[in-house]
Amino acid sequence: MGLSETYITKRDGKKEVFSLEKIKNAISKAFLSVGSFATEGVLTNILSRISITNGTNVEEIQNQVEIALMSERYYKVAKSYMIYRQQHLEDREVLDKLNFLMDYCDAANPATGSKYDANANVENKNIATLIGELPKSNFIRLNRKMLTDRIKELYGKELADKYIEMLTNHFIYKNDETSLANYCASITMYPWLIGGTTSIGGNSTVPTNLKSFCGGFVNMVFMVSSMLSGACATPEFLMYMNYFVQLEYGKEYYKESTKVVDLSNKHRTLDKIITDCFEQIVYSINQPTGARNFQAVFWNISYYDKYYFDSLFENFVFPDGSAPDWNSLNWLQKRFMLWFNKERTRSVLTFPVETMALLTKDGEPLDKEYGDFTAKMYSEGHSFFTYLSENADSLSSCCRLRNEIQDNEFSYTLGAGGVSTGSKSVLTINLNRCIQYAAKTGKFYMFFLEEIVDLVHKVQIAYNENLKDLYNKGMLPLFTSGYINMKRQYLTIGINGLVEAAEFLGIEINDNPKYLAFVQDVLGLIEKYNKKYRTDELMFNCEMIPAENVGVKHAKWDKEDGYVVPRDCYNSYFYIVEDTSMNILDRFKIHGREYIKHLTGGSALHMNLEEHLSKEQYAQLLKVAATEGCNYFTFNIPNTICNDCGTIDKRYLKECPHCHSKNVDYLTRVIGYMKRVSNFSVARQVEANKRYYATH
């Protein structure tokens, strides 16, 4: 067989007939580049050292040329040839980036164009978001290198290799690998209150009045968020604001909210002054942020019933010696919620994500006033989360910001101990792949899973060591200044593909003993290891991750590799989101205490409804949630937004109620936060269309 009939494999995988002339050319050029000349005889000697068979790829041929040049002692030529190859490699990388850049510019929206972490929180596609996209691959490489070096040091090379193997084969997924910062945090604002932002690198002094509170708060949230890759929760926002309103307008300001207090020509009432403050803060924080690739900061706040308030802040003292006051805060919380609900009919406002924390007793809210108010706000079309607990021993201000409150002590430097929490890092297990792989290879899935669970804990410990290094080098001012605490932030084990794994095992996805046992076995295993690896400085929790883009990726990768994939986006719930056979009560039940008990990091039930319910009905559903032990949930009724006249309506409508245009879009929660459906990535839009919205 002559060489001319041999086919080689090109870089793009295509086959091409091997051409001797091309190699000769390349070698001749290498000789010329060092001022030398290759005769036919020299070329023949070099080529005789090269062996090419069908399927040999370009890289292999070039490696052989390098070795042949050196064997024939043309060292200078070999060096030049190697440099030439390296330059081409770099050119190809730039070309890849350029292609990505072009694809991104042509994509339907930013979430679809993003290669690494599709995110609907970026509304516009422009030069700023493109700048954010380009270095992401380098961050991934850097993060992997830092992590594997540390794993090698702590546990040896074998485990480091295993981590990369599991990661590249999609058994596990490292969330937010495109960022260097730790994940998300719920902060105590006390360090800001007593020291301004100087301790975290800012230049503003302590807030002294309502105006400086509002401006300073926005700056502080932006600064904190720029040092996190995920959400920033400020569970004390309204309590602090209340303090400053009181300083200016008296302890009982809420009793005279209609009084004109503005001496300017505007003659604003106190109520107007306060809602103007809300407006300033909320609109500022919803702006796209330069430091976060044009994403808005992801801001969460909390509301409390009286019992939660008492329990969290009973020992709290403001710097002037005064204590937080419930009566005025009660008014301010309600005022904010009412204002925000109304404001959302004027503008698409994604943040803050709000959580109402209610204590329950005997299957109903203990604070009747707040139970009623919660039901009323839902019935008026406001969309927010509710967190229910029988004890004020835990709190949640976001799906993954649930924490056990270990100490409610008040500190004169750090404020309320109970509110500070968060997740340093999330590492997710793709349960569907793990379980199917175990079955394929004849292993009992719990044994295989145990290996993976052990691995992810060790990787997280390695991450924590790297974070400690950054901390010791003074790179993490949020920790050093006390906004968050190294020992109280969790290392989170995420799960995805739980429902799909159960389906593969032939388990029906509804409330039945087999499914419950499966859920408890799998999640129980993770919790066992969470406890096993817990130390004074390490805390682990487990979360069913919202998986805005991972749910889509896992389904895609698993399908490509021949696993059973029942849908294009893995569920983030205990039920199948498109299943019409499960009614609303079934869904609460399957997110009830028996199912979620090992999900220490939380999960959120998104109850999708087509129409709003009445206050009485929501009140009954709060009781249902309390009785079933479903601790974190929200109701989603898609809001309609007219693409022609801009009208926003809280109902799920086919046409605009104002101009009757049928060109309407919807606002709903992509995962935890509300966005226009058209901002979702294409894959998520498909998933959103399949969601079952109970019609009755």
Partner 1 sequence: MLLISDYDIVFQEVPNEVTLSLNLSDCPHSCKGCHSPQLQTKIGKELTTDIFSELLKKYGQHITCICFMGGDRHPETVQEFAKYLHSLGYKVAWYSGDTEKPSCIDLINFDYYKIGPYIEELGSLKSQTTNQRMYKIINAQKEDITNVFWKK
The binder of partner 1 chosen from 611, 645, 659, 663 (CB under 8 A): 611
The answer to whether residue 578 forms part of the interface with partner 1 (CB under 8 A) is no
**479 to 205, 483, 554, 678: CA distances (angstroms):** 19, 6, 33, 38
The alpha carbon dihedral of 439, 444, 450, 455 has a sign of negative
Nearer to partner 1, 609 or 648 (CB): 609
Nearer to partner 1, 375 or 495 (CB): 375
Q: For residue 313, how far is the Cα from the chain centroid?
A: 29
Q: Residue 421's beta-bridge partner residues?
A: 186
Least Cβ distance, residue 588 to partner 1 (angstroms): 8
Q: How far apart are CA 477 and CA 489, in angstroms?
A: 15
- Long-range contacts of range 363-366, CB-CB < 8 Å, 24 or more positions apart? 363/623, 363/626, 363/627, 364/622, 364/623, 364/626, 365/305, 365/622, 365/626, 366/305, 366/307
Least Cβ distance, residue 502 to partner 1 (angstroms): 21
Nearer to partner 1, 199 or 620 (CB): 620
Q: How far apart are CA 183 and CA 530, in angstroms?
A: 18
Nearer to partner 1, 651 or 691 (CB): 651
Rounded to whole angstroms, the maximal C-alpha distance in the chain is 102
Q: Which stretch binds partner 1 (CB under 8 A): 194-202, 225-233, 328-336, 621-629?
A: 621-629
Nearer to partner 1, 473 or 654 (CB): 654
Least Cβ distance, residue 583 to partner 1 (angstroms): 4
Work out the angle between the directed axes of helices 445-472 and 513-532 (0-180°, nearest 10).
Answer: 40
Whether 389 and 357 have beta carbons less than 8 Å apart is answered as yes
The answer to whether residue 623 forms part of the interface with partner 1 (CB under 8 A) is yes
Site for partner 1 in 644-673 (CB under 8 A): 651
The binder of partner 1 chosen from 616, 645, 663, 689 (CB under 8 A): 616
Q: Which stretch binds partner 1 (CB under 8 A): 460-468, 471-479, 622-630, 655-663?
A: 622-630
Quick note: the x/- pattern for partner 1 over 333-372, rule CB under 8 A, is: ----------------------------------------
Least Cβ distance, residue 662 to partner 1 (angstroms): 19
Least Cβ distance, residue 620 to partner 1 (angstroms): 5
Least Cβ distance, residue 611 to partner 1 (angstroms): 6
The binder of partner 1 chosen from 613, 637, 656, 664 (CB under 8 A): 613
- The residue among 385, 460, 379 whose CA lies nearest residue 423 is 460
How many residues touch partner 1 under the rule CB under 8 A: the total is 21
The binder of partner 1 chosen from 28, 627, 643, 678 (CB under 8 A): 627
The binder of partner 1 chosen from 617, 643, 666, 677 (CB under 8 A): 617
The answer to whether residue 537 forms part of the interface with partner 1 (CB under 8 A) is no
Residue identified by tokens 């968050």 is 484
Q: How far apart are CA 262 and CA 280, in angstroms?
A: 17
Residue ranges in 107-135 assigned as alpha helix (H): 110-113, 127-133
Least Cβ distance, residue 623 to partner 1 (angstroms): 8
Neighbours of 470 (CB within 10 A): 15
Q: Residue 675's beta-bridge partner residues?
A: 668
Q: Residue 429's beta-bridge partner residues?
A: 172, 495
Q: Which stretch binds partner 1 (CB under 8 A): 494-502, 543-551, 557-565, 614-622?
A: 614-622
The answer to whether residue 512 forms part of the interface with partner 1 (CB under 8 A) is no
Nearer to partner 1, 141 or 651 (CB): 651
Q: Which stretch binds partner 1 (CB under 8 A): 79-87, 151-159, 229-237, 612-620?
A: 612-620
The answer to whether residue 621 forms part of the interface with partner 1 (CB under 8 A) is yes
The answer to whether residue 583 forms part of the interface with partner 1 (CB under 8 A) is yes
Whether 18 and 7 have beta carbons less than 8 Å apart is answered as yes
**220 to 187, 224, 229, 431, 482: CA distances (angstroms):** 11, 6, 16, 39, 14
Whether 430 and 565 have beta carbons less than 8 Å apart is answered as no
Give the binding site for partner 1 (CB under 8 A): 583-586, 588, 609, 611, 613-617, 620-621, 623-624, 627, 651, 694-696
